[in-house]
Structure 1
Amino acid sequence: MELKVYAVVTGGNKGIGLSTCKLLASNGVTVVLTARDHKRGLEAVEKLNELGLKDHVVFHHLDVTDPATIPPLVDFITAQFGKLDILNNGY
């Protein structure tokens, strides 16, 4: 039985956050890449998809300075994965 691992990376659209997403996804972790800007977040996911990580990275909007964006992320994780193993808060 394969163990599935799920991670959320805040600020995953650039810099250390994007590198963290790449590293985790390259090691088989399913990563929820989050970003404040939808366009930049989707562009970052596309970059990772081009590296062959399509099945391991998804985007979800999150602005850690806006509490209203947190419950939708929690609902998404609960519905899609049922758990969260890793939280990398780079903000």
Structure 2
Amino acid sequence: MERDGVSNPSEKRVAVVTGGNKGIGLEVCRQLASKGVVVVLTARDETRGSEAARRLHASGLSDVVYHKLDVSNPSSAARLADFVKNKFGKLDILINNAGVIGATAEIDTTAPLQDVARMQRRGSSGY
């Protein structure tokens, strides 16, 4: 039985790979699919994600599907969870490979250096 391009999805293990469109994530997708695992390749960029899945299909790995995912967006993660539940009814493997940059802040690095210099001067004079 084939469902949406995936053969016998209920009989196979199902994996989600975040950040699966390039680098280590793409290779993880390739390795899992070559072992008979159904792979949901995820990426933020729809063009790159779809192209990565197409390349895997072209290499003979047909049990790979693309789904858009921005791991920093809770509603995007919820849509992925619904997709996996509705399409496969289970999730066996989760590979969290997506790179996430957290909040940033400007830090005044001159004050701590001055404090360090002052401490060193005190230490060298015996205080």
TM-score, normalised via structure 2 length: 0.68
Structure 1 residue 87 and structure 2 residue 94: aligned?
Answer: yes
Is the radius of gyration larger for structure 1 or structure 2?
2
Written as runs of structure 1 = structure 2, the 5 A alignment for 1:1-91 is: 3-54=11-62, 56-91=63-98
Deviation sequence 1:27-77 (CA, Å, 0-9, x none): 0000000000000000000110110012x1000010111112011111110
- Unpaired runs of 5+ residues, structure 1, are none
Q: Which runs of 4+ in 1 moved over 2 A?
A: none
Q: Percent of counterpart pairs with the same letter? A: 57
TM-score, normalised via structure 1 length: 0.94
Structure with higher RCO (Cα < 8 A, 6+ apart)? 1
- Unpaired runs of 5+ residues, structure 2, are 1-9, 99-127
